[in-house]
Amino acid sequence: MTFQTTLLISSFSGYLAAVGFYLLHVRHRRKAFLAAAFLLILSGFVLQTALLLLRWRTAGFLPVTNLFSTQLFFSWTLALVFLYFEIRYRIHSAGLFVVLLNLLLLGSALPRNPAIPPLIPTLDTPLFTWHIVFSFTGYALFAMAFSLGVLFLVRKNRPDSALPPLPVLRKLNEEAIFLGFCFFTLCLILGSIWAQVAWGFWFSWNIKGVWSFIVWLFYAGMCHAKFVRRWQGTGYAWLSIAGFGVVLFTYLGIGLLLESNHPLE
């Protein structure tokens, strides 16, 4: 077993154990479980960061050019976003979905070949690196918004003291959408500049480009919808859920099922 595999399995185990502690907290409501879960996620994140840095150093570029690498990076951004909300707002098990998604991504990455493919010359630019960093940070924040949207609906229909109050869930959901939109806007700006220097046009009608624009337009609409009374709360929660469906299709659906200029394998 290589050092990189050890790091990967260790961080996966940390996240898995953290989910266990969060579930125990949901059932038994003990602060010790929360503290243990937080520490486990933090250690998993530190190990995953070390793994990412090691792979970056080995490759000489941020390795995000195949499915394994993007899963690893997306999972890292999910953990980062969870830690941001946990440290800032103490959301605890309210972010459980994000941790579960993280586990799913890492778990499905485990059996894959971790070898880093050589970098295609066109991708050898900082524009690509930052395009990817902002893209996955945006995706992770949209995943958090999905999680908070689901919990908002659950909390509304089944009042449960284990979940934060509705106004807090709404506030966090709006923050996740706003930050996600900001990062995704930066991703599209850098992607467009890169497309101009690489292909000679800044907007591509390739299906990935079209759906990335759809994601941006959808969340731009959401950033406005929060000011409309009718869409506040429940409507916003449903929109967050639908938006994440669009994100999933843009990242996985197009990358795996359709032919695009952003292949994952």
- The residue from 29, 162, 201, 256 that contacts other proteins (CB under 8 A) is 201
- Among the listed ranges 10-18, 28-36, 144-152, 216-224, the one in contact with other proteins (CB under 8 A) is 216-224
Exposure string for 83-114, b = 16+ CB within 10 A, e = fewer: ebbbeeeebbbbbbbbbbbbbebbeebeeeeb
Query: Smallest distance, Å, CB 196 to other proteins?
Result: 6
Q: What is the DSSP letter of 110?
A: T
State yes or no: residue 192 binds other proteins (CB under 8 A): yes
Query: Smallest distance, Å, CB 261 to other proteins?
Result: 9
* Sign of the alpha-carbon dihedral angle for 234, 237, 239, 241: negative
State yes or no: residue 17 binds other proteins (CB under 8 A): no
Nearer to other proteins, 100 or 264 (CB): 264
State yes or no: residue 4 binds other proteins (CB under 8 A): no
State yes or no: residue 57 binds other proteins (CB under 8 A): no
Dig out the tokens for 258 from the structure. Answer: 């359709």
- The residue from 114, 178, 248, 253 that contacts other proteins (CB under 8 A) is 178
3-state secondary structure of 116: coil
Phi, psi of 134 (to 5 degrees): -70, -35
- Among the listed ranges 56-64, 75-83, 91-99, 189-197, the one in contact with other proteins (CB under 8 A) is 189-197
- The residue from 213, 238, 252, 263 that contacts other proteins (CB under 8 A) is 213
Cβ contact 22:41 at 8 Å: no
Angle between helix 166-199 and 67-89 (nearest 10): 140
Whole-angstrom distance, CA of residue 17 vs CA of residue 245: 27
In the complex, the residues that contact other proteins under the rule CB under 8 A are 121-122, 124-125, 127, 166-167, 170-171, 174-175, 178-179, 182, 185-186, 189, 192-194, 196-207, 210-211, 213-214, 217-218, 220-221, 224-233, 246, 258
